[in-house]
Amino acid sequence: MEMDSLRKLYVDELKDLYSAEKQILQALPKMAKKASDAQLKKAFETHLEETRGQVERLDRIFELLGKSSRGKKCKGMEGLLEEGKEMMQEDMEPEVMDAALISAAQRVEHYEIAGYGTVRTYAQLLGEDQHVKLLQQTLDEEGNTDKKLTQLASSINVEALVEA
């Protein structure tokens, strides 16, 4: 693909994030189902709802750009989710599985935070103020989810310490 301007790179990265979010929509219900801790389960369910809203924000941006959201597969997210899937198939005590789910979920959030931080900054440089607002909202949600997971890990990791 020809990538001769920041605007083209911007659209390309938005497509990548769109693909990432779509993949996350498939994975989160499985993670919620696998979680034993009630608060962790709830956190995944809440983030599933937020993720639906994040896809809608991207839809809005593509609408404003007059461009299609299709055409890219986020291989980075595919890899992260594949690792998560392999881990969920392991035989683990419930507390250890919860700790592992948090570990996988935080990798996903950090990947998204990097991606959204970048496109938010591109949108600022390109003068796309409406996009900036939408992307910042999503960036804030991803950041809050990451913090929430850290907070849950502080007790779940300790529970996982205890040998069965």
Residue 12: count of CB within 10 angstroms of its CB: 14
Residue of 16, 37, 98, 142 that binds Fe ion (CB under 5 A): 142
Q: How far is the CB of 123 from Fe ion (least distance, A)?
A: 16
> By C-beta, is 7 or 107 nearer to Fe ion?
107
Which residues in 64-93 contact Fe ion (CB under 5 A)? none
> By C-beta, is 23 or 51 nearer to Fe ion?
51
Angle (CA) 16 19 23, round 5°: 140
Which residues in 20-39 contact Fe ion (CB under 5 A)? none
Torsion angle, alpha carbons of 41, 39, 75, 125, to 10: 140
Tell me if residue 36 falls in helix, strand or coil. Answer: coil
Q: How far is the CB of 142 from Fe ion (least distance, A)?
A: 5
Q: How far is the CB of 145 from Fe ion (least distance, A)?
A: 5
Is 128 a binding residue for Fe ion by CB under 5 A? The answer is no
> By C-beta, is 128 or 142 nearer to Fe ion?
142
Half-sphere exposure (Cβ direction) of 95: Cα atoms closer than 13 Å:
11
> By C-beta, is 106 or 157 nearer to Fe ion?
106
Residue of 27, 28, 37, 54 that binds Fe ion (CB under 5 A): 54
Cα 115 to Cα 152: distance, rounded to the nearest angstrom: 24
H helices of 126-164, in order, are 129-161
Q: How many chain residues are in contact with Fe ion, going by CB under 5 A? A: 4
Task: Show the beta-strand stretches assigned E in 7-158.
Answer: none
The binding site for Fe ion (CB under 5 A) comprises 51, 54, 112, 142
